[in-house]
Homo-oligomer: A and B are copies of this chain.
Amino acid sequence: MTTQRRTPQSARRSQATRHAILTAALELAGEVGYARLSIEGIAARAGAGKQTIYRWWPSKGAVLFDALLMLNEGQDEQSAELPDTGDLEADLKVVLQATVAELNDPRYSEPMRALAIEMLVDADLAAEFTERLDEPVKELKRRRLRSAQRAGQLAPDMDLDVALEMLWGPLRSRWLNRDGPLTTEFADTVVETALNGLRPRPS
């Protein structure tokens, strides 16, 4: 009986410790950046032992990675598909405005920025990120664009990855380089410019 009572209790305790560690990693990455993030620091902030962290994760990158996955999981329910009302421009504006909100939220943005910089020097981390976080989200975006292609709202021979770059690239660039304000107006301008192109259209 004791063992049976203890098992769910210790599982709950493990869950709580895991959550504290991932939360601490997110907070610290935002505060000190990836380079100065350390397992020691995470352990101290989480009130956990260093050994506990090393038992569950091989590196600080792996901890931060799971922490960002945890943040993303909370959103999965409502955002497994991008909106598809049939109005491509309106739908894209909703989605890019949400991206802007996320990139302006320091809870997500600062650890994500720390990871983004580290990925530029660590090809393995970048490959893991691409596979586990980036590619699934990109596929949702491609799916919305394919639906628009079927509806005749996008050129049928469009290179979808170039299209994604036209839409999300300017947001990501402004976020990473911090070289301009990330506003909903900017998101709207990007959607309109990408859809209509730089050449004038007969109106």
Given A166-B170, A170-B169: A158 touches B195 (CB 8 Å cut-off): no
Q: Which residues of B sit under 8 angstroms from A193, Cβ to Cβ?
A: 158-159, 162-163, 166, 197
A contact residues vs B (CB 8 Å cutoff): 33, 35, 117, 119-121, 123, 126, 130, 145, 152-156, 158-159, 161-163, 165-167, 169-170, 172-173, 176-180, 186, 189-190, 193-202
Q: What residue in chain B is nearest A186 (Cβ atoms)?
A: B162
Question: Can you name the residue of chain B whose Cβ is closest to the Cβ of A167?
Answer: B198
A158 cross-chain contacts in B, Cβ below 8 A? 193, 198
| A177 and B121 contact, CB distance less than 8 A | no
Interface SS, A side = helix
**Besides the known contacts A154-B198, A162-B193, 18 further A-B residue pairs in the complex with CB atoms under 8 A apart:** A120-B177, A126-B177, A152-B200, A154-B199, A158-B193, A161-B180, A162-B170, A162-B186, A162-B189, A163-B198, A165-B169, A165-B190, A169-B169, A169-B170, A169-B173, A172-B173, A194-B198, A195-B198
Expressed in whole angstroms, the Cα–Cα distance for A35 and B121 within the complex equals 10
The smallest C-beta distance from A149 to any residue of chain B, in angstroms, reads 9
Supply 24 A–B pairs (Cβ within 8 Å), ascending by A: A33-B121, A35-B121, A117-B117, A117-B121, A130-B179, A152-B200, A154-B198, A154-B199, A154-B200, A155-B196, A155-B201, A158-B198, A159-B189, A162-B170, A163-B198, A165-B173, A166-B193, A166-B198, A169-B170, A172-B173, A195-B199, A197-B197, A197-B198, A201-B201
Which residues does chain B contribute within 8 Å of A152, judged by CB atoms? 200
Contacting pair B198 A155 (CB below 8 A): yes
Q: Which residues in B have their C-beta under 8 angstroms from that of A153?
A: 199-200
* B residues in contact with A180, CB < 8 Å: 161
CA distance A162 to B96 in the complex (A): 15
What's the minimum C-beta distance from A21 to chain B, rounded to whole angstroms?
A: 25
- A190 contacts across to B, CB distance below 8 A: 162, 165
Contacts of A199 in B (CB 8 A): 153-155, 195-197
